[in-house]
Amino acid sequence: MKSPIPQSVLTQILRAQQNEITEYHIYSRLARRVKDKGNSRVLQQIADEEKQHHDSWAQYTNQEARPRRLIVFLYYWIARVLGLTFGIKLMEKNEERAQINYSQIVGVIPEAQRIIEEEEVHEQKLIALINEERLNYTGSIVLGLNDALVELTGTLAGLTFALQNTKLTALAGLITGIAASFSMAASEYLSQRSEGESERASTSALYTGVAYICTVALLILPYLVLTNYLLSLVCTLVIALAIIFAFNYYISVAKDLNFRRRFTEMALISMGVALVSFAIGYLIRVTLGVDI
């Protein structure tokens, strides 16, 4: 006769069981919706394993767990909007399993180690099989985003003090930004072609150009809606930091990279260029005696 499972351990198992059935519904729903057949098969395989894990835990709890519908809805749409890899890895990072004491469970039920190992190892291998186009062009996106942040924050900072007029600064920044976006896209296209990546060249150029122009639009926005040039500059710098934060968080989750190091490096470069450019704008205004 088996010893009864302590209530504290049973609570841990029930929580793990609910996690498994919740993830089963997320993966199954995604598997039915994604167009890529390879990704769909991988997602369904993960879903089936989640269901098997739920059933294995049920042997100890003698209960059927119900999925958390809000979590299913939330992560399904995160994955659909922001990408499968990001949505799935974010879920794996933030799921409630972090609050589960697996060592306590294994201490009472040694055979549970198999479920835990499958959860931690096999599923990560399956997730790595997911092929997502946007992640294949991360380098092109980084090129457009980073260049726009460094170049335009510097340009706007310099123009802000040189012109001291939000509309003129917005006009000059917009012309500069649009011209630079086409230039960067063309450069990326030629770079890919020269490296023998003819099939990727057009798509890489598109990702670079779109990333650049979207960043330009966000950075110039304060100058279009505000009248105080210094407040506009502050808002632009805040937006730049927000873009750097959001993008690096996305990449760090999707590609398992160090978020803090990437964010700090990119933020220091962008803000440093902005500071130097602001000083140059001041010196040029004073030296040339410009007064608009």
CA of 97: how far to CAs of 14, 18, 29, 50, 195, in Å?
11, 10, 21, 13, 45
Name 238's Cβ contacts closer than 8 Å, sequence gap at least 6.
Answer: none
232 pLDDT more than 60: yes
pLDDT at residue 1, as a whole number: 39
- 166 or 275: which leads in pLDDT: 166
pLDDT at residue 221, as a whole number: 93
What gap in Å lies between CA 241 and CA 262, rounded to an integer? 12
Q: Cβ distance 19 to 95 under 8 Å? A: yes
Exposure string over 267-289, b if 16+ CB within 10 A, otherwise e: beebbebbeebbeebeeebeeee
- pLDDT tens digit string along 105-144? 777 777 777 777 777 666 676 677 676 666 667 777 777 7
- 1 or 254: which leads in pLDDT: 254
Q: What is the pTM of this model?
A: 0.72
Share above pLDDT 70 across residues of the chain, in percent, rounded to a whole number: 86
Lookup result for tokens 């499968």: 84
Q: Which phi and psi (to 5°) does residue 256 adopt? A: 55, 50
Q: Cβ distance 243 to 218 under 8 Å? A: yes
Q: Which of 16-20, 61-65, 103-107, 224-228 has the highest mean pLDDT?
A: 224-228
Quick one: average pLDDT of 196-214? 82
pLDDT at residue 285, as a whole number: 63
What gap in Å lies between CA 197 and CA 31, rounded to an integer? 31
Quick one: average pLDDT of 86-115? 73
Q: Cβ distance 243 to 252 under 8 Å? A: no
pLDDT at residue 26, as a whole number: 92
- pLDDT tens digit string along 169-187? 899 888 888 888 888 888 8
Mean pLDDT of the chain: 81
